[in-house]
Structure 1
Amino acid sequence: MNAQPPAASPLLTNCPEGLPVEAYLDPGWFAREQASIWRRHWVLVGHKSAFAEGRLELRRVGGVEVIVLRDPDGALRAFHNTCRHRGAALCTETRADFNGRLIRCPYHAWAYDISGRLVSTGFGTPTADFDKAAHGLFPVALTEWNGLVFLSLADDPPPFAPDLGLTALDNWPMDRLVIGHRAEKELACNWKIFWENYNECLHCPGIHPELVDLVPVYREGVMSEPERRDWQGGPAGPALKPGARSWTLDGAPCGAEFEGLSAEQRAAGHTFVTIYPSCFVVAHVDYVRVVTLTALAPERTRLSAEWLFLPETLAAPGFDLENVTGFAERVIAQDGEACELNQRGLHSPKFRAGRLMPQEFDIHRFHAWVLEALGERR
């Protein structure tokens, strides 16, 4: 009989089966996820700086088009991109009739104020049976968290609940950070393949030579000391290799370290906050990175990353953006290749489902989350 891990260890005590292969290939399964996960749970649609007053921004949530605007008081609002007349799109990627006060349909000139209230039917002449008050734009639930904007298409959205809690980034100056760099990549894989890769480090020694050099525990195929088979408890030491302070090519911080971080947060070197299904945030001592997923098709996923800095860091003489972004972009590229390799192999008619190793406990939890969201039981 195999020795059991310590009681406090997160390791699985068995090797459970993963999701069926249909979960990664079948259009019907993907359509169910769009309806039950992507159109219900909170989905990141951008940093607050992307939504300027006087401009309509078009976003897609679960394949559904949504418009987002900022009113003169600074509040953000979101609506379905559909006119209540005959359903025409109010906004396209390149066209929107909006003067900061009225949203006007480009087809028949129905107009709505920034609260979504219908104020004009254009050249149409409603009769007594038409209730103008009942024909405003369809609202979309919106919440802001640490400068990030999330939408939910559900009439009754679930609570907004990052895995580490709403206060996880309170010690970082999130309200002052600005976007210093963006990168985007389309992957030939199912969105869940990316999250599975994110949730384990068994691949790290073979896929990420630079990362395992920076974070020594990753060399052992685990993400933290409690995942080691011989872990006996006790505090963890610094996560980064000696002399390194941040995730950069040379390990040096890109500017002044954030004030207000605890000693534990500085020693950790990275704090990951996950918000399924669409994003994770990685907070370092000197910058923050936000990675966003968009499920495009059963085997297509868009991956976007934004690097956030203090304005004074970006403006400092000698600031080296490539030293910061080059490291994570290399890791992202390596993960992308691994995810596409994983997706490609699923097309074998012999493969039905994977088997998880004890270190893949977070994948097991993720699978349970997906199945619960779809109303299924493992």
Structure 2
Amino acid sequence: MTVTNPALPLSAAEIVRTCLPLEQATMLPGAAYTDYGVFEWERANFFARGWICAGHVEQVARRGDFLTVEAGGENVLVIGDDDGLPRAFLNTCRHRGARLVVAPSGTLRRIQCSYHAWTYGFDGSLKNAPFTDGLQDFDPKCFALHEVRLAVVEGLVLLDLSGEAPPPQAHIGDLAPLLAKYRNADLKRGARIVYDVDANWKAIGENYSECLHCPGVHPELNRLSHYLSGESIEGAGLWCGGSMTLAPGVEDMTVDGARVREPIAGVDVRSILYFLIFPNTLVSLHPDYVMLHTLWPKSPERTEVVCEWFFEPEAIAAPDFDPTDAVEFWDQVNREDWEVCALTQRGMESRSFTPGRYTTQEDDVHTFDVMIAERYLEALR
């Protein structure tokens, strides 16, 4: 798939300073968050080249179950095929190019264009094209939907629009065993909230990667887990993150700190693990649920964030299942985060803004920024 690659309007000298060791490094320049040319370059290189997370496999685990995502300048349809295996296609009819599926998610009986009724199988093949029988050299096999490379790694549905990314296992790396330990691939969705955030996607990722702001911005969260209680975790793959430890007497990160569900078997019930998977995935592993955020940049200063909560199938099947304790708590924390991210975005738009220094509590932020900066430098050099 050919993707236009715009020039990157940044200075290599500024970016090099981000790649220095934490104690010497300077954060990314303001233009990385505010310039539309940078946004276009990132869309072409981070979201149209390399792996991105479309969501959780549970959403497309049954025949006809689908979700649509806007990534890298393309709209992609991810759908369970006749065998219940996820497939991905450009969401574009092969006749006149009409958008095939408009809804963000749901279940389809068939893929049929609402314009001229061209119909496709869940494997992307063209099944019916009215009034084409008399055409010369018309082979339906040549008009299948354009397939997008897809992989599932421990429950995460990954897309590669370019078809040229390294193996998905290398992208997830050493994070895969931890996702497996929390049975992420087997969990079922219990809740979903979509947010429209007035901030650059990288500012959201940076905010997620540190808790230095927690005492002032999230006092309820800091009561459940002291902001200095965790430690970073390192390993192979394009991710960063670490742990937080629950305070004495606290059982879970919920509204009242109590746990109402049985923990996932074999996990550490005193720790919360949080990871950012480059570029658009935030995954938080809790004793009894997993929370997944996916980030979808809409402009330099606006990001759609999809937040979902996943629980053990047995918990969801229980007649008294209620995810409110976790959802209400994190909805409050999310909204507090979006507010300070928006304030950061507004401040970086000042003509006088210059990037600051990292503190010693922002090692994961630095790791995330270096992932970005190294790719900037590859383009600039």
**The residue matched to 2:325 in structure 1 has which SS?**
helix
Distance of 1:328 and 1:350 partners within structure 2? 34
Which amino acid is 2:331 matched to? Answer: E
> Does the 8 Å CA contact 1:90/1:96 hold for their aligned counterparts?
no
Distance of 2:304 and 2:167 partners within structure 1? 25
Residues 149-173 of structure 1, C-alpha deviations (whole Å, 9 max, x = no match): 2222112123322364221122223
Q: How does 1:45-84 map to 2 (within 5 A)?
A: 45-51=54-60, 52-54=62-64, 57-84=67-94
**The residue matched to 2:294 in structure 1 has which SS?**
strand
> Does the 8 Å CA contact 2:232/2:364 hold for their aligned counterparts?
no
Tell me which of 266, 270, 273 is aligned to 2:269. 266
Provide closer, same or farther for how the CA distance between residues 126 and 191 of structure 1 changes in structure 2, counting only shifts above 3 A: farther
Residues 183-231 of structure 1, C-alpha deviations (whole Å, 9 max, x = no match): 2211100000011111222212221211222112x1x5x74389xxxxx
> Does the 8 Å CA contact 1:272/1:282 hold for their aligned counterparts?
yes
Residues 30-88 of structure 1, C-alpha deviations (whole Å, 9 max, x = no match): 01111100122322223333334235543222341112221221111111112223322
Where in structure 1 are there 5+ consecutive unaligned residues? 1-10, 227-236
Which amino acid is 2:181 matched to? Answer: N
**The residue matched to 1:73 in structure 2 has which SS?**
coil
After alignment, is 38-47 or 85-94 more displaced?
Answer: 85-94
After alignment, is 182-191 or 355-364 more displaced?
Answer: 355-364
Where in structure 2 are there 5+ consecutive unaligned residues? 1-19, 234-242
Say yes or no: does 1:254 pair with 2:244. Answer: no
Residues 129-158 of structure 1, C-alpha deviations (whole Å, 9 max, x = no match): 455433321101112233332222112123
User: TM-score, length-normalised on structure 1?
Assistant: 0.82
1:128 offset after TM fit, Å? 4.4
* Partner of residue 289, structure 2: 287
Which amino acid is 2:269 matched to? Answer: R
Provide closer, same or farther for how the CA distance between residues 319 and 120 of structure 1 changes in structure 2, counting only shifts above 3 A: closer
After alignment, is 290-299 or 90-99 more displaced?
Answer: 90-99
Tell me which of 341, 345, 348 is aligned to 1:346. 348
Q: How does 1:63-142 map to 2 (within 5 A)?
A: 63-93=73-103, 99-100=109-110, 103-124=111-132, 127-142=135-150
Task: Give identity over the alignment, percent.
Answer: 38
Which amino acid is 2:101 matched to? Answer: C
Distance of 2:276 and 2:166 partners within structure 1? 16
Higher Rg of the two aligned structures: 1
Provide closer, same or farther for how the CA distance between residues 110 and 345 of structure 1 changes in structure 2, counting only shifts above 3 A: same
Provide closer, same or farther for how the CA distance between residues 94 and 152 of structure 1 changes in structure 2, counting only shifts above 3 A: closer
Distance of 2:106 and 2:116 partners within structure 1? 13
Say yes or no: does 1:23 pair with 2:15. Answer: no
* Partner of residue 145, structure 1: 153
Q: How many residues align?
A: 350
Q: How does 1:38-49 map to 2 (within 5 A)?
A: 38-49=47-58
Distance of 2:326 and 2:318 partners within structure 1? 14
**The residue matched to 1:327 in structure 2 has which SS?**
helix
> Does the 8 Å CA contact 2:263/2:269 hold for their aligned counterparts?
no
Distance of 2:106 and 2:307 partners within structure 1? 27
* Partner of residue 325, structure 1: 327
> Does the 8 Å CA contact 1:162/1:273 hold for their aligned counterparts?
no
Distance of 1:271 and 1:193 partners within structure 2? 20
CA RMSD of aligned residues (A): 3.1
Distance of 2:232 and 2:371 partners within structure 1? 25
After alignment, is 246-255 or 125-134 more displaced?
Answer: 125-134
Distance of 2:232 and 2:292 partners within structure 1? 25
